[in-house]
Every structure is written in C-alpha cells, then in structure tokens.
Structure 1
Amino acid sequence: MKKTIIQSFLVILLVILMGCGEESKTIFTENDISIVPKPLEMKFNQGAFRFTKDTKLVVDMDKAHVLEVLQNKFVSAAGWKLEVVETAPSRNFVLLSIDPSLAEEDYNLQVTDDQVIIKAQGYNGFLYGLETIRQLLPVAIESKSVVTNINWDIPNVEIKDSPRFKWRGFMLDVSRHFFDKNYVLATIDQLALLKMNTLHLHLVDDQGWRIEIKKYPKLTEVGGFRVDQEDKPWNARPTPDLGTKTTYGGFYTQEDIKEIVAYAESRGVTVVPEIEMPAHVMSAIAAYPELSCFQNPIMVPSGGVWPITEIYCAGKDSTFEFLENVLLEVMELFPSQYIHVGGDEATKTNWKICPDCKRRVAKEGLANVEELQSYFIQRMERFLSSKGRILLGWDEILEGGLAPGATVMSWRGVKGGLEASEAGHDVVMTPNSHCYFDYYQGDQDAEPLAWGGNLPLSKVYQFDPVVEGMSEEQAKHVLGGQANLWTEYVPTNDQAEYMTYPRLAALAEAVWSSKDNRNWDDFSNRVSSLFERYGAMGVNYAKSAYQVTTETSVNTENAVISIALKSEFPNADIRFTVDGSDITSASKKYTTPIDVKNTTTIKAQVFEDDLPVGALFEKTITYHKAVGKPVNYINKYHDSYQGAKELGMVNVVRGSKNFHDGQWQGWLGDDMELVIDMESPTEMEKISVGALENQGSGIYFPIQVEVFLSDDGKTFRSAGIVKRAYAANNGSELKDFLIETERQTARYLKVKATNLGTPPTGGGSWMFIDEVVVE
C-alpha cells in the first residue's frame, strides 16, 4: 500500500514538473478561425498545436521546396528555421503525406496537440494546406522582424478542402503602366495566400510593349517607352510629335520572365501571357510600321486612344510571320497551356480600304471585315494548336465565327460566355460588372481616380462564374473566373494594391468555395482578420467597405427626411453627429434612422474596438422649400436612370460622381422639363439645379437652365436663365446651376434644362440631374 502511494505521488510530481516546463497552449474557439477562402468542410476540436524551434517538417526531400513559404515566415517572425526531415518523430511535427485518392488541388488537414498532417495528391494541394496553416497562425507570422513573447499556436481542426473551379485568376495590366518584376513577384505571393492559381499578364497594348523578343529588338527599344505625360489626365494626353524623346516605360527581359514563371510555379501559380492582336498594338506598329495597313510612322501613345484604327494588317502574310515568330519566343518562356491573344476592340476602318485586306477578303471568300477578324484569329489558333497550346481571347473573338479550339474570356457581361459555352467552347468568366478592379469601390469623392463604374467588395463577393441560363452541359465548360486590374488610372504599386485588395479576397472565395458554403455576413467577419494580415505585411489595402453610406426617404405628409446610415459590413458600429462636431469614440452610436427637418450636416464613421476605421462620411443635407412637393414631368426621365422617380428632384439626396448610385435622373438627347407644385404661394429667391458631367461616359452638362414661375400653373413667367457652352472636360464633375432672382412669390415652379444633344464625338448625350433646390 505504501509503495503504491509513493508511486502515485511520483507520477503526480512528474506531471507537475512537466507542466512547469511548458506554458499552457492557447484556448481557441471556432470564432477564432478566419480562413479565406472558406474551406469546403471544417470540424473544430478542443486543443492546439504549438510550433517551436524543435518542430520538424516531415516530407520526402525531393518535395521539400513546397515548405519554403512556411519556413521563411518562421525565419522572419520567430528567428528560427524549421528543420526538414524524412522520418517523423514521436510528436511535434508537420507531416506531408501523399494521398492519390484526392483530386489534383485538394488537401486534407488534421491538427492535434502533437502533430499536423496534410494529405494531398501533389504539389498544389500541399501548398494550399500550408497556406491554411499560415492563416491559422497568429497574424504576427507575417512580421518582417522577430516577434517575441508570442506563442505560435494553431487550433485543432479537421479540414477537407477542394476548389470549386480550376481557373482562379487575376489579370495585371503592365502595359498602360509598367510594374517592375518585384511587384509581380509580390502579387504572386498574394495569389498563393488566397489559393489562386493563375496570373494573367497583359504584356502588350497600345501604350507599351513589355516583353523582350530577341528577333525583334525594337519592340522594347521603341515600343517599350513613351513620352512622359503622367501629369495629364489619361484621356487628355496629346499625340506626341514624331521624334519626341520617350522616357516613361520599361519591359521584362527574357531572364526576368523566366524568374517570374519559376517563382510562380513554386507558389502554385501558372502565368498566362497576353500578346494582343489585331488591335491594341500601336506600340508594335511604332517599332515596325510595316505591320500596319498603310505603314505610317507613329509614336507610342502616352494615353487613351479611341477608336483604335492603327491595327495589324490582316492582308499581309508578313504580319502573320511576325506574330508566329513572336509567339515562338513567348511559348519558350511560358509553359502555360493557354496563350491569350486579346482580340478585342479592333476598329476595322483601315481594313475596309486597305488593298491587301481587300484581296484577303476576296481570296478567302469572306463576307466582311468581321469575318476577316475571324480569319485572323482562326489562323493564329491553328498555329498555336500545332504547338500544343490553346488560344484564349476576349469575347470579341466570337464575332464572325469562333476558331474551333479557342477558349473565350467573357468580359462584356456574360453573353459571350453563354454563347461560347453553348457552342461547346470552354470559357473563363470575367464580366466587368463584378470583376473589373479598375472600377471605384466606394464613394468617388473619397477614392482615388478610377476608370468609372462601381464595384464594392460586397458586389465582387456576389460573383458566380456559372450564370443564370446555363444548362448543366454549358456549366461544364466554365473553367472558372478571373479579376482584372486595368491600369490606365493606376500609376503606382501602392495604388495597384489599393485597387486589388481586399477585393481579390472576395473573388478568391467566389471561385474556390462551394456555392452553398458562401455567406456575406460570415465572410465579413473573416475578412477583418485578413485586413490585420495585410497590415502586418505592409499591403496598402482599401478600407472602402467601411465607408458610411445613406438611404433616404421623405414623408410627403410632413416633409420629414429620414436618413438611414449603413456600411457594407452588417451590424457595423457607426458613430455620428448632427451638430457639426467631430466624431469620437464617445459620439452617439447609430441605431435608427435620423429624422431631418432642417438643413443639417451629418458626420459619421465606422468604429472597431472604439477606434475609427475607413473614411469619414460628411454630408450637408440642404433642407429646402420644395422638399417632398409634387413634381409633374412634362418631359420624363429615361427608363434606365429613374433616380427616386417622382421624388427624385425633391428628396434632398444628392447624387455622387458614381452615376450608378441610384440618385440621378437621366435624359438621353432630350431636354428636361418639369413643374413643381409648392402647394401654396411661396417666397423664393434662389433655385439651383444639380448636374453631373462625365464625358468619358457620354454624360454632359446642360447647355442652358431656365426657371419659370406661375401662380395658376398655366401662365408662366421667366424668372432667370443660366447658360453654359460645351467645353471639353476629362474629369468627372458635379455642378449646381444657380439662378438667383429678386424675391418672388409663386405656387408653381417650372424648370427646363437643355440637353447638349449631339456631342463632338457623335451619338446622343446623356444629361443627369439630381435635385432642384428652392430657397
């Protein structure tokens, strides 16, 4: 009995001593797990695994390079390199185990107190399992310097994960603005973090040729540089005179490309090159004018070009010889199965009158120049197919007939994808509505200059490559989806990051996670952890999703304006003031809509942990005499832009530079004419009419605004007029057309705004109006 008691005491003592030597592990909850994109299946278990300097990484030595990212993270953040061994110890190890039953990119992850096991068929599966471990580790793992007093614990989980689509891509336009090799490598790192597997490099466009072709050195010597006009708006840069010195640009040497491709391969990413044809090639024609129909010497343009008429001549065999030689060098550098040839936005003016193109049309029995473009693409498709590659192009390659083996990238909405998949072609869905990251992602007044449009984080998250109207057979042809960052308005690395992140995370989940496993509220919670990770990595991510926006309604009976505040994230902690004072953590929390009965300045901001995040919202609600009054439209707004309909002109809600914000009423080529019934004789001395101009989108200020007053609604007298002649405007501008009259009393107010009608570029002009303010 005594011996048994002594033995028990010794066991207890040993346990106590062991406990003293090891600090207790982190106690996790399921809410601590914030993996993006969301895994297919996950089971949370109690307990944790701790990484220490003695943790072993177990894998066959020929596969050890897959561990590089995790090893490097611990070297930087913890100060020690985890040892790679081929035989597992009894505990404290990470084991990579081959499971041939899993699909190519699938992985299973099991974490217990003593070990971590990743099962996969091959390289990408192991890589994704390791990236999941990275996201389970504390955010400090992203630190570039050693972090002390931290436990490198991860929760015990069982994960089975598999991507929904095999094409999970991102396109970076390096032509309009050049991004150096190091930025491309950093982009690859971010793709790997989000389990994305395709980097599409837009290497050629009018404004720059970015890849060295040894057979044609002038492509980069001449085509890689342009006159520096970065101080001017993109679409207002004049055509430089021949011979002007070119200083802006750059290109990747073939050694650079080899390094990028190899680095991408180590991160599970395939690099797809895009060599544009037959249009968007003025940089090539500047270098070799004989490639065009009329061989006129040109400069590489410094900014926007439209229409694009200087394109490759489709009538000369020498054009195709040039392109085949270029593609031979490209294919040597890029092992990608797909070679992107562009094929978009070719204005065929020159083809219609070019003798060589006319001969080609006649010889091939083509009906028109659209079929000539089809001939062009089909000829290039046959060449690429003969080399074991697949031609990929924008959905314009459908025009005139699609090459038999081609794959379509559908960008002008989803129509191209529907059409191509119905014909049995594979498609990559990248509609500009959800995938164009050159669009604004928040209030334009708070965002850097962008192309236009509105693509907030939540809308990206709604993207689904399989669209309504697709049959099951068509859906099988959907390879996946892709985001595109066009860079006309993105001149720097910082701005490129701002436009890309976190929207890329939303798209990554849209193309990885199963459809029934996606939920915006859930993603909103998880993505905040990714924000912390971006911060630790020094990524200049956008906080636009935190911006406060408003929804306004008017009670027509008492003319009270009700203003609701919200952000993209549900249940956001919004603080606000209505007295002009600054926002602090002590400011009132928003819970219910704010009633406004007079002119009020509202300030609001989202808070997290009692600290402000995102941009400050500040707007003055001008409460005027016509609020909520009946409006009779003599000449009604267009069905496409109805604003708030009958209250649109008198609801005090002003439109933003985003003309899709739902506040603008639009007239296409027509004048606006309306009558406001003030309901009783009312004194007034100032009437202003709010308008928007965005000439790049076909929206022009009115050329005249006139106000009329009436006592009976039948006989009107002119109360004032303001005129504004058309003037070129390369920006987006808001303007109030103000008419000041001597103080007058009237019951009825007629406003007529005169549309420009036909702009210098031709076609019809939009006129956008948001409010008639009566004071």
Structure 2
Amino acid sequence: MRLIKVLYFSFLSFILFSACTTNSGEESTTEVPSIIPLPATMDFKDGSFDINEETVIVVSNDAEKKLANLLNERLTTASGFSLKTLSNAPEDNFIRFKDHNELEEEAYNLKVNKKSIEIESNSFAGRLYALETLRQLLDLDVQNSSGNKVQNWKVPAIYISDYPRYEWRGLMLDVSRHFFEKEYIFKTIDRMAMLKLNTLHLHLVDDQGWRIEIKEYPKLTEIGSWRVDQENKHWNARANNQPGDEATYGGFYTQEEIKEIVAYAEENAITVVPEIEMPAHVMSAIAAYPELSCHGQEIAVPSGGVWPITDIYCAGKENTFQFLENVLLEVMDLFPSKYIHVGGDEATKTEWEKCSDCRKRMEEEGLENVEELQSYFIRRMENFLSSHDRVLIGWDEILEGGLAPGATVMSWRGIKGGWEASSQGHDVIMSPGTPLYFNHYQGDPDKEPIAQGGYNTLEMVYHFDPVVDSMTTAQKNHVLGAQANLWSEYIPTESHSEYMLFPRLVALSEILWTPEEKKDWSGFVNRLKDMNRRLDNLGINYSTTMYDVTASATTDSDNSITISLENELPDSKIFYSLDGSNPDENSQFYKNPFLIDKNTILKAVVIEDGKVMGDTLIKNFRFHKGLGAKISYEPGYDKRYTGIGNKTLINILRGSKNFHDGQWLGWLNKDVEIILNLEEIKEISNISLGSMTDQGSGIYFPSKIEFFVGSRENEFQKLGEIVHEFQNRGSVELKDFKLDFNPVQVQYIKVVVHRFNQLKDSGAWTFLDEIIID
C-alpha cells in the first residue's frame, strides 16, 4: 500500500495541459496534453472518455489488480468514489488491460475512445508506463485534492503506440559521500517511474563511507560508515582524520532496508544496480580492515576530498579477493540485478609499485606493469561474477591494461571509452561528465548553489545522443543507453539533490525514450513549462535556470561594448534596464544586440504572463582608463586558458566562478609580469587586479602582487604591493586585489604577479581576469 499512498500525490500533479499541434501540422480543436517523455506516435480522435462512479476496471491477474489498485487509489481521494474491478468487460465505461504478445518488453498501446480505455502490453513495465502516460492525459484540477471532489474525469480520445529508444535509462545516486535515508530513495524511485526511467544505480561504497550492511564483515558499517563530522566546512577544506577520532556523521542501509528498496523499485519497473567500488575509492573499507591494503596500516574514514587516491585494495594478497567475493555474494543475494558495478576508476597505484605481494603477483601472472595488474584484478572479479550469472560493469578505466571479456563499460571521461569498448564488441552505457554529470552547474556559477565545477545546462542534456556518428552499426547496437550521475560531495541535503536533478532528469527521460526523429527542443521546453508546474505540486525543489538570462559581450574597436542577451528557451520575452533599476514589462524589450559606452549596470529578466521567471541577470560594466591600452605578458599565458587573447585583462568583461567561461587567462607554476602602455599620459589613483581561487581544481590566489608605474618605457617606480596570506579554502572565490595611492601622471603600468608556491606534489594555477585602472 505504500506504493499507492506515495504515488497518489504524483498522480494528482500530472494534470496540466498545453496547446500544441497535431502531427499533420494543422491546429487541433482538442488541447493536446504535455506528455514527457513524448510518445512514439499519438493520434487524437474526437470526444473523450468520462471516468465516473459507474466506470469499472477489468483485470485478469494479480499484477493487473496491483495496477488497478494503484489507479483506483489515486482517483478515490480526489473524487470521493472508487472504481469496481471485474474479470469480464461490460459493453462500455471500462478500463481494461490486454495482453499483446507482439509488443516489445516495455512497449504499450493506449487506446481511448468514448466507451473505454484499453492498455495493451506484454509486460508489467509496459502497463505501468501506460498508466504514467494516462495520468498526463487526465484533465484534473489539483485543488480538488484538498477538499472539493470531482465527479467526472475526462480523458481525451487518443491512440498512442509507444516504446523506449534505449533499454538502459538510468540515474546514479551517490549515497556514500553524503548519506540519504531510504525514504528519499523511495521518492527518487517514484519520480523516475513517472519519467519512464528504469535503472537506479546506487553508489554504495566510496572513501568517505560504506553504506550497505555486510553480515560477514560487521566493521564495514561499524567503522566504515561513519566519519568525523566536518559538514560545516567545504568538502575540499576538511582536515585529515586520524584513527580513533570521534566519528558521528554517516549511516548505512541494513539488508532489510535494501530489500525494501529493491522491492519498491520492482513495483515501479525499476532495476537497482549496486556499485561496490574496487580497487580504489575504498578507504572506508580499509579503515575497517587495514589488512586489505598493501601497507596494512590503520587509517581513518576521510571527511572530505582525497587526491590522489593511494589507499586502495592490495592486488597481491589473496585475502583481498576472498573478502570481495564474500561481500559480492551477500550483495548478489540482495540485488537481483543482472549487472553489478565494481567501479574501477581513479586508482593511483603507487602502493602496488612498491608492494612485495603485488610484485610477486605480477611475476606469477606475467604482468608487465601495474595497469595490467589492475586488468588482472578486474578480470578476476569479472570471472567470479559471471560464474554467478551476473555481468560486471566498470567505469572506462577498466579498459586500461586490457578489458575483461564479459565486462560492460560505463563511459564517463567523455565518449571515447564507450567508443573503444563498443569497437571491441562490449556493451556500453554512456555517462560522460559533459553533459550527464548533474553535480555540475546548470546556470550562472556566481548565483547557483555550490556545485562541483563544470557546466551542464538543460539544453546540453537534451541535445546529447548516446550514439556517435562515427560508430559502425555494430558499435551502435552495443550502446545500451545512458544515465545521469549525481555525485554528492557538494550535495548534503535532499533539497539540494532535487535541485540538481530537476529538470535535467526530465530532459534525460525524453532523449532516452523518445525516437530520435521526434525530439524537438522547442516543443520540449513548451511541455516542460507544464511539467514544472507539476513539479511544484509534488513539492520538488527544481531549478529555474532555463529562464535565466545570460549576457555575452564583445569589445568594439571604438572601446564600446556590444551586448547580446539570451536564455535557453526559444522565443523568450526578455526585458532589460541599463540604469540599475529592476526591469518589468515597461522596460526595454530585447530584440537585437545593443551598444554601451559608459559605466552601466545591466539587469535583465524573462517575463511570462506578467510574472518574472527565474533569476535577474545583473552585470556591472565599468569603463576604466586601461581600456584600449597595449598590453604584453611575460611569460605568455597557457594555451589551455587564453580567454579572448591579449585583451582579456582590459576588455571590461569579468570572469565568473566558472574558469572555463572564456574570460580568464591562466599560468601554471609561473610568476607573471604584465606591462600596459596607455599610449598617453593619464592621471590614475588606483589599480586593481581580478583573480580566482578554486583549490579543488588547483587554482590559487597570488602570494604577492607588485604595482609599478612610469611615464617612460622601461622606467618604473614601485607604488606598492599586496601580500596575500594563504588560507585553506574549499569554495570558489573571486577577489580584486586593489592598491590605492595618491594621484600620479603615468603612461606605463607594470604589474608583477607572484604565484602561490607552497605545493610540493602538484602545480598551482594563477588565473587573472581584469586589470582596472582609475
């Protein structure tokens, strides 16, 4: 009954309509519902079917009774009546499930006329998906759930034939870095089902927490599932923990809870795929059982980021494999999934290189290097899983050193790994960081909740295709589908998790279900507007960045700036102001790019039906005396971060917290000397330099900045310096280093930027975005 109670609220909110056109392009007299994902074919007819107190549901088995109860319970609370179930259909006014053995596994036909509703399928999943579509066909008034009862429910007459494009339509939730209670997993399953997603990948193991009870190894949850609570600090600014430190943050799923999750997912036609990481991302296991590592020393479960990951399972010790096989036996008893994910990524093998057990293993197996040792590790686990009729999945690193024969590859470092694995005859699941890492930003990083770098917009997700044009037909046939990944380092709450998932998960559902030729960005975003209102009724904290306005600007030869405004939605109505006032429908309506040539505070919004949608864009353009100067750099900036070229630091355009935004110049492990020639004597009284720190990405504020001026070339007088004391920061921060001084007459300015130089093991980047001279 929990399924019925939870999904009832989902059902009530899937009820909004939007006008659209028929397949022929002619305007329909019937409002067409905003169905997502869009069905393969829809043919609307005249009239409608009325669900009333006399309507009956025809069922022939227990599975159909379960679905009938689901539909019936949804209607009962809102209408005040429940529908009877019968084994034989009357002449009319009935809803019936019918077998159709010629349909594919998850396909269905939905037939609605004035007399009946018929759902044809050959599987429970197909019947459930038909109900998910039916809920979007119902013209319901959501307010009736709180009091007023509707006695008649109209369903437009229609014939729908529908089926998925891909068999793997997935979402990965990382419950290791931050633990989420089973109730949130249930909610996520509900939301996946309504979008016809069918695979929930649970990342149950990582350095920062072991989240599944293993009865043979109780310390995995007694020790490995708990860490020192440093949640008040940024993920990458947390102190190292020591064995014995009080560990109070964490949690795990008991085996009974896992069974509940798996059963609940099955009731929603969803397979739960467990991930048990190996050989790296396992510090939580080694904290519990130190003998599993090469060094055998006690370690603590870390509270935050770890890089490089050197504490990994020892590939030379036989007890490592005995441990993993025992763990996987219990995991396989809990998860009926055909697939078991073993990770296999980001293993730094320095311990293997100096471990006598690992060297002995390499000699015995004729392995030339530690990459081949990892291949041996994965092959051995693949043999074990295949002996139990399971299929091993690993991240694309398992390609290195040779791929296990029966393995499936999940390609996350772009699509290259998927392309290579499919060329070798292996099945692949596409999950590239761009655009399917939903822990990355989806809007302006300066305004969005903290995210793990990157930039994956709703539109980028929608235009992703799991197959690659360069693939052969055989390779394409090995692409099972795709999934989004939500890594949780920066996501400690359910609300934040929802925000990162929605509405990007809605876009994913359509690209994995709807036939390629039916996909249409403009049509999708129109339907998504209704879906967002449904998400409102579900109480989901979703992002509205699809409405947010972005500004792009180019500096013209006369030192003016051309501004262009846009957002993700086609035909949005953008209004803007240039005086710092909040724009409304009486403000300037954006039609074409425009010029500004003086200090300006730009604000812009999208307005629909008199309502401001999304956040307000605010950009401050400051015209300063360095604009148009000649500028040189010694040494030159790194070719990977070139901004718009030499003029990047004097183009008035400021960089954001996304260092890939094209407004930053970068230097790696180098001091920088910058010389500006203003080309005439000007009076100035301050100089500032913009910089960034993003320590998780290896970017640091300068340690010192020196400022010099002169009226002649190569004749400089030092005005002063700014020394910056290092602070351990986890978040991305922007800062202007400003030096004020008494007015001076100058033509030349020199700024010497001293890099941060306290790192021993890796390099430090310096990023600069604007020199402001006034």
TM-score, normalised via structure 2 length: 0.92
Partner of residue 688, structure 2: 688
- Matches of 2:163 and 2:144, distance apart in 1: 29
Partner of residue 246, structure 2: 245
The SS at the match of 2:650 is: coil
What's the offset of the Cα at 1:149? 5.7
Distance 1:145 1:278, change over 3 A: farther
Contact 1:712–1:748 at 8 Å: present in 2 too? yes
Output one character per residue of 1:605-638: Cα deviation in whole Å (capped at 9) or x when no partner: 2222211222222222212223344544554333
Question: Which amino acid letter does the alignment assign opposite residue 382 of structure 1?
Answer: N
Partner of residue 722, structure 2: 722
The SS at the match of 1:454 is: coil
Partner of residue 10, structure 1: none
Please, which moves more after superposition, 705-714 or 315-324? 705-714
Contact 1:66–1:266 at 8 Å: present in 2 too? no
What's the offset of the Cα at 1:712? 5.5
The SS at the match of 2:409 is: strand
Partner of residue 303, structure 1: 304
Matches for 1:529-548 after TM superposition, within 5 Å: 529-548=530-549
Matches for 1:448-487 after TM superposition, within 5 Å: 448-487=449-488
Question: Which amino acid letter does the alignment assign opposite residue 215 of structure 1?
Answer: E
- Matches of 1:43 and 1:229, distance apart in 2: 56
Partner of residue 384, structure 1: 385
The SS at the match of 2:273 is: strand
What's the offset of the Cα at 1:579? 2.3
The SS at the match of 2:696 is: helix
Contact 1:79–1:146 at 8 Å: present in 2 too? no
Please, which moves more after superposition, 532-541 or 76-85? 76-85
- Matches of 1:49 and 1:524, distance apart in 2: 28
Please, which moves more after superposition, 633-642 or 371-380? 633-642
Contact 1:692–1:733 at 8 Å: present in 2 too? yes
Partner of residue 99, structure 1: 100
Contact 2:52–2:151 at 8 Å: present in 1 too? no
- Matches of 2:201 and 2:146, distance apart in 1: 32
Contact 2:105–2:126 at 8 Å: present in 1 too? yes
Output one character per residue of 1:693-720: Cα deviation in whole Å (capped at 9) or x when no partner: 1111121223333444454556554444
The SS at the match of 1:356 is: helix
Distance 1:227 1:168, change over 3 A: same
Distance 1:145 1:726, change over 3 A: same
The SS at the match of 2:302 is: coil
1:619 aligns with 2:601: no
How many residue pairs were aligned? 748
- Matches of 1:632 and 1:521, distance apart in 2: 45
What's the offset of the Cα at 1:439? 0.8
Question: Which amino acid letter does the alignment assign opposite residue 695 of structure 1?
Answer: Q
Partner of residue 446, structure 2: 445
Partner of residue 507, structure 2: 506
Output one character per residue of 1:23-61: Cα deviation in whole Å (capped at 9) or x when no partner: xxx997646421111222223334333333333222323
Please, which moves more after superposition, 174-183 or 53-62? 53-62
Matches for 1:424-443 after TM superposition, within 5 Å: 424-443=425-444
1:605 aligns with 2:605: yes
What's the offset of the Cα at 1:514? 2.1
- Matches of 2:500 and 2:140, distance apart in 1: 22
Question: Which amino acid letter does the alignment assign opposite residue 160 of structure 1?
Answer: S
Contact 2:584–2:607 at 8 Å: present in 1 too? no
1:678 aligns with 2:678: yes
Question: Which amino acid letter does the alignment assign opposite residue 555 of structure 1?
Answer: D
Question: Which amino acid letter does the alignment assign opposite residue 765 of structure 1?
Answer: A
Distance 1:668 1:151, change over 3 A: farther
Contact 2:691–2:767 at 8 Å: present in 1 too? yes
- Matches of 1:310 and 1:635, distance apart in 2: 38
What's the offset of the Cα at 1:458? 1.2
- Matches of 1:198 and 1:157, distance apart in 2: 29
TM-score, normalised via structure 1 length: 0.92
Contact 1:142–1:533 at 8 Å: present in 2 too? no
Matches for 1:400-415 after TM superposition, within 5 Å: 400-415=401-416
Over the aligned positions, Cα root-mean-square deviation in angstroms equals 2.3
What's the offset of the Cα at 1:359? 1.8
1:769 aligns with 2:768: yes
- Matches of 1:571 and 1:628, distance apart in 2: 36
What's the offset of the Cα at 1:133? 1.2
- Matches of 1:726 and 1:528, distance apart in 2: 46
Partner of residue 356, structure 2: 355
- Matches of 2:512 and 2:148, distance apart in 1: 34
Output one character per residue of 1:665-696: Cα deviation in whole Å (capped at 9) or x when no partner: 22233444444443433222222111111111
What's the offset of the Cα at 1:252? 1.1
What's the offset of the Cα at 1:201? 0.5
Where structure 1 has 5 or more consecutive residues not aligned to the other structure, the ranges are 1-25
Output one character per residue of 1:69-116: Cα deviation in whole Å (capped at 9) or x when no partner: 433332343343333323223333222222111111112222223322
What's the offset of the Cα at 1:584? 4.2
- Matches of 1:135 and 1:555, distance apart in 2: 50
Partner of residue 169, structure 1: 170
Question: Which amino acid letter does the alignment assign opposite residue 491 of structure 1?
Answer: P
Partner of residue 117, structure 1: 118
Partner of residue 276, structure 1: 277
What's the offset of the Cα at 1:575? 2.8
Output one character per residue of 1:551-603: Cα deviation in whole Å (capped at 9) or x when no partner: 1122222x222222222212222233322333445444333334322222222
Output one character per residue of 1:506-563: Cα deviation in whole Å (capped at 9) or x when no partner: 1111222222222222211111111011100111111122222111122222x22222
Matches for 1:54-203 after TM superposition, within 5 Å: 54-64=54-64, 65-138=66-139, 140=141, 145-148=146-149, 152-203=153-204
Distance 1:79 1:605, change over 3 A: farther
Distance 1:139 1:731, change over 3 A: farther
Contact 1:209–1:224 at 8 Å: present in 2 too? yes
* Percent of aligned pairs with the same amino acid: 51
Matches for 1:593-672 after TM superposition, within 5 Å: 593-633=593-633, 635-672=635-672
Partner of residue 572, structure 1: 572
The SS at the match of 2:260 is: helix
- Matches of 1:306 and 1:139, distance apart in 2: 52
Distance 1:313 1:698, change over 3 A: same
The SS at the match of 1:763 is: coil
Partner of residue 343, structure 1: 344
Contact 1:107–1:126 at 8 Å: present in 2 too? yes
- Matches of 1:681 and 1:444, distance apart in 2: 39
- Matches of 1:242 and 1:738, distance apart in 2: 44
Distance 1:294 1:720, change over 3 A: closer
